[in-house]
Amino acid sequence: AKDPVRVLVTGAAGQIGYALVPMIARGVMLGPDQPVILHMLDIPPAAEALNGVKMELVDAAFPLLKGVVATTDAVEACTGVSVAIMVGGFPRKEGMERKDVMSKNVSIYKSQASALEKHAASNCKVLVVANPANTNALILKEFAPSIPEKNITCLTRLDHNRALGQISERLSVQVSDVKNVIIWGNHSSTQYPDVNHATVKTPTGEKPVRELVADDAWLNAEFIATVQQRGAAIIKARKLSSALSAASSACDHIRDWVLGTPEGSWVSMGVYSDGSYNVPAGLIYSFPVTCKNGEWSIVQGLSIDEFSRKKLDLTAEELTEEKALAYSCLS
Ligand code: NDP
């Protein structure tokens, strides 16, 4: 039998955390034959609720779950973890300025960077979910210099999956037959959902999404806006932000990173830019990636038309500004 893997979830008493931990304990993230030990971190005001989640995990009697650590101590939470899902973050409340939220979150990510760097397993894979996800991940990377930059990522897989979902609904095809959409850039409303390389499996072979939809006006406007604003639409409907889809996408992100992407298909991940596609190096930016042997690589050589170029640049500009704002909060 395999040794259990320790998986950290921060903000585990929150609503994404509540959806995420049972998925991890069921093997959705690391596979049905991989035992896990869950490390759940939250802040002292949430300690009692966190303990309640721990009780429910015991009550669910998950065969793969070999232990649960529920704590408000970052060092205890980070010790020995090989996967870290960073969901905890300060929510933007009514009347708060962007800078105030940024300031709270960068200080959280700076201190958690140190705890992870000192106490996590040396090959720990980190996924940041809490917003502003790209910039929180960047701060974590900068303040955990001994964690390889390849190991620090942020979640844009939910946006990617939303794009697959919209195409599948529009064409009335199975979502599993749609592939190779791309989310470029920031996990924010400037993200660019790109279908120019996306295809659908049909009885007569793979066909481009553009050919099948045959409505460029819809693809270039409504589709993009729907994906960009889906988070707000969920809040409006549910009075709470998306949680089950965020949790499910976090599992997809880690599973594909660890176990690999299928031949011929890619996924979107927020990763440290090396300057590919003329995206400024040194940002955490969402790119199309393939994964193999536990490592992602950016898909190279895709053609970028003028329409796309503008959108890639716009979201990069926003990230450059966020980075500057984050640093101004730290100094
Ligand atoms: P959620 O579990 O709903 O969300 C957690 C974070 O994920 C938020 O920053 C949220 O951003 C973000 N997020 C990223 N992508 C998505 C998405 N697609 N849909 C929804 N959320 C997304 O928040 P809760 O308030 O329920 O839980 C947060 C937990 O974090 C609490 O248990 C709290 O105690 C803890 N916390 C920890 C802190 C710390 O570690 N120091 C500080 C503050 C809170 P957004 O807000 O933009 O929706």
Q: What pLDDT does 94 receive?
A: 77
Residue 86 amino acid letter:
M
**Amino acid (1-letter code) at residue 3:** D
Q: Is 301 annotated as a binding residue?
A: no
Ligand 1 near 15 CB (within 6 A): yes
Q: Which residues of 236-269 are buried (b: 16+ CB within 10 A; e: fewer)?
A: eeeeebbbebbbbbbbbbbbbbbbebeeeebbbb
Output the pLDDT for position 219.
Answer: 98
- Give the distance (Å) from ligand 1 centre to CA of residue 263: 34
Ligand 1 pocket residue status of 132, Cβ below 6 Å: no
Distance 196 CA to ligand 1 centre (A): 32
**pTM score:** 0.97
Residue of 104, 162, 241 to test ligand 1 pocket, by largest number of atoms within 8 Å of CB: 241
How far apart CA 190 and CA 179 sit, in angstroms, is: 22
Q: Are 114 and 70 a contacting pair, CB within 8 Å?
A: no
Q: Is the CB of 21 under 6 A from ligand 1?
A: no
DSSP 206-221: EEEHHHHH--HHIIII
| pLDDT tens digits in sequence order for the chain, 331 residues long | 899 999 999 999 999 999 999 999 999 999 999 999 999 999 999 999 999 999 999 999 999 999 999 999 999 999 999 999 999 999 877 777 778 889 999 999 999 999 999 999 999 999 999 999 999 999 999 999 999 999 999 999 999 999 999 999 999 999 999 999 999 999 999 999 999 999 999 999 999 999 999 999 999 999 999 999 999 999 999 999 999 999 999 999 999 999 999 999 999 999 999 999 999 999 999 999 999 999 999 999 999 999 999 999 999 999 999 999 999 998 8
Residue 187 catalytic?
yes
Are 125 and 116 spatial neighbours (Cβ–Cβ below 8 Å)? Answer: no
